[in-house]
Structure 1
């Protein structure tokens, strides 16, 4: 059994994807340094979080998903050193679920790791993330609740640092609760270096070249995506959301336009200010291991003036949509040309031509994987 397990709980939109990309792309290097990242793929930690949170939909999933948490624990039981389980949806677990998860990892010493940032930027980023997952909720209506349901992953249940810690922290001694406060002025790799310190490894054992930060959309672009989501049918699968909504449409086509940054409504801003103050006051009373400045968890008083999504006009949405149509026509033509070339390559007696260079941005990894699967089907068929 590993000597200790680090459970990285989130919060969502606090460099979690960035850290997880580093971890999963450097599993062998981490293993050589004494850190086990259990599971055969990144989704095993997502599926484990669903089991921990007792998501009733999990019982209807394929056996591989249902057994993920058992397989993760079995791998940790068979390994030495340190183990790491990381998924931001763990933040939604109830206090009872958290306690059971920690107990199920005995006799390993469990540590909790929570990455955190000031609530206003977090709230704004989380609304964008909800759009990338197909939501149609206007920002003015977003985050108005603190859900009692552990399946709720996109409201204050997972976004409020104090609420998450109050559910998880009773399961371990306070010195085993580690809060990594994001430094808004630091280099991007700062959070990785501090995270690696908790793992007990030299941060330079990992190659960071494949890591990337999630892209943000401008206000008109975000509102356009929200309206597009309302017209989509048949895009409810996780693959469709990840490949087409998130990577292709949001990250590659909308975020790359730039656009104006934005804030939520005034009362939502005030709510963010309150939650930041309450989290800082709570942390000052606990014996947690805090890395970073508590002041960085407060909403800045001198924040800049920004628009609100409700102010976006139909004309602005139309301008973004027209640009999208023009861009996507080029995409369709390029894809048809590529598929035609693949069919010619498969013709009897034809010498295959070298593959054409990718014309899409770096964020197209998932789309290219999908195209790779399509090419294999064409060659078989």
Structure 2
């Protein structure tokens, strides 16, 4: 039976990929120290889709939540399960997950990031998951209270209410994401401190590059999504084709010079929402790794919106994208194998 199980449930865009990369790249050392990562990254992702019963679960997925929980239960030490989409579970799904991990001592770990950076990154993440709505329509929906899903799936206070209420206060943990410019290992040290991982046990590497797309590039992708119709549906077909050959191979490699974000016309509203979130978290009994002040937006400056682009800017970005895809296709074209060429020549000469 596992002693403790740490369930890291998100939120998305809070450095979870970096934390997971450190965990998995040091899996052997962690296991030797008594901390198990059950399954594999893809197995934990499949288990998440099973737990949440999402419509886009891969038809070929073999890992279920119960299978993951069974592997955790068979371990005699501590266990960590980490997937940033777990935070989107419903009350009933979260309750099922926690109950399936008992009688181990279940800990819930949630990470929070300031809203000024969260809004644009979450909208972009949605576009990269095949959404088609504009940035302005997204902000307006949230502002007018018509998109409560954003708060439910991407803010620490809502996630803690669904998951944290299922365990004692001493087993609820909030990690605040440090501000820009902070050494990247700061986030890891906060996370490792919760799990009791000794400093120096894990070899730390720089976070894997996952650059944000510029305003023009994300607008091109948004329009591609809208034009796809029923082709390459979310999630596996879209990731296999569009994410791999367009986003990763081309758009991420573009200059992405024109950055975008929430406009200053909404600065007061964002600040007000942040203060409300900070107050709720301050009143919620949990262990905090970091500082709630880091959830307060800082350096709110004038920004650009993808909706402000003119058609020429979008067309120029689309043309550069096509050129980039040509180069990508060319790099994947295998040259004729010399042995095959010689064999064909020999056959012709004999004839």
Q: Do both share a fold (TM > 0.5)? A: yes
- Tell me how far 1:56 sits from its aligned partner: 6.1
Q: Which residue of 1 aligns with 2:34?
A: 34
CA offsets, 1:101-147, max 9 Å, x none? 11211110011111111012111111111122222111112262579
Compute the TM-score of the two structures, normalised by the length of structure 1: 0.80
Q: Which residue of 1 aligns with 2:294?
A: 296
Q: Residue 4 of structure 2 contacts residue 77 of structure 2 at CA under 8 Å; is this kept in 1? A: yes
Indicate yes or no: 2:155 matched with 1:160. yes
Q: Residue 140 of structure 1 contacts residue 265 of structure 1 at CA under 8 Å; is this kept in 2? A: no
CA offsets, 1:132-183, max 9 Å, x none? 222211111226257999xx6xx32211222111211210111211111011
Q: Distance in 2 between matches of 1:203 and 1:345?
A: 54
Seen in structure 2, the aligned counterparts of structure 1 residues 124 and 203 have a Cα distance that, compared at 3 Å, is farther
Secondary structure of the corresponding residue to residue 17 of structure 1: helix
- Tell me how far 1:16 sits from its aligned partner: 1.0
Q: Which residue of 2 aligns with 1:307?
A: 304
Indicate yes or no: 2:316 matched with 1:319. yes
- For residues 213-252 of structure 1, what are the structure 2 equivalents within 5 Å? 213-232=209-228, 234-236=231-233, 238-252=235-249
Q: Residue 264 of structure 2 contacts residue 302 of structure 2 at CA under 8 Å; is this kept in 1? A: no
Give the superposed CA RMSD: 2.7
Secondary structure of the corresponding residue to residue 7 of structure 1: strand
Q: Residue 111 of structure 2 contacts residue 156 of structure 2 at CA under 8 Å; is this kept in 1? A: no
CA offsets, 1:168-206, max 9 Å, x none? 121011121111101113111211122122221134333
Which sections of structure 2, spanning at least 5 residues, go unmatched?
345-351
Q: Distance in 1 between matches of 2:122 and 2:99?
A: 31
Count of aligned residue pairs for this structure pair: 338
- Tell me how far 1:253 sits from its aligned partner: 2.5
Q: Distance in 1 between matches of 2:314 and 2:304?
A: 15
- Tell me how far 1:222 sits from its aligned partner: 1.3
Seen in structure 2, the aligned counterparts of structure 1 residues 247 and 55 have a Cα distance that, compared at 3 Å, is closer
- Tell me how far 1:349 sits from its aligned partner: 7.2
- For residues 1-381 of structure 1, what are the structure 2 equivalents within 5 Å? 1-39=1-39, 41-55=40-54, 61-62=59-60, 64-65=62-63, 68-142=64-138, 144=141, 155-184=150-179, 185-209=181-205, 211-232=207-228, 234-236=231-233, 238-256=235-253, 257-264=255-262, 270-300=268-298, 302-336=299-333, 339-341=334-336, 343-344=337-338
Q: Residue 134 of structure 1 contacts residue 245 of structure 1 at CA under 8 Å; is this kept in 2? A: no
Q: Distance in 2 between matches of 1:170 and 1:148?
A: 24
Q: Residue 140 of structure 1 contacts residue 264 of structure 1 at CA under 8 Å; is this kept in 2? A: no
Secondary structure of the corresponding residue to residue 113 of structure 1: strand
Which sections of structure 1, spanning at least 5 residues, go unmatched?
351-381
- Tell me how far 1:330 sits from its aligned partner: 2.3
- Tell me how far 1:333 sits from its aligned partner: 2.4
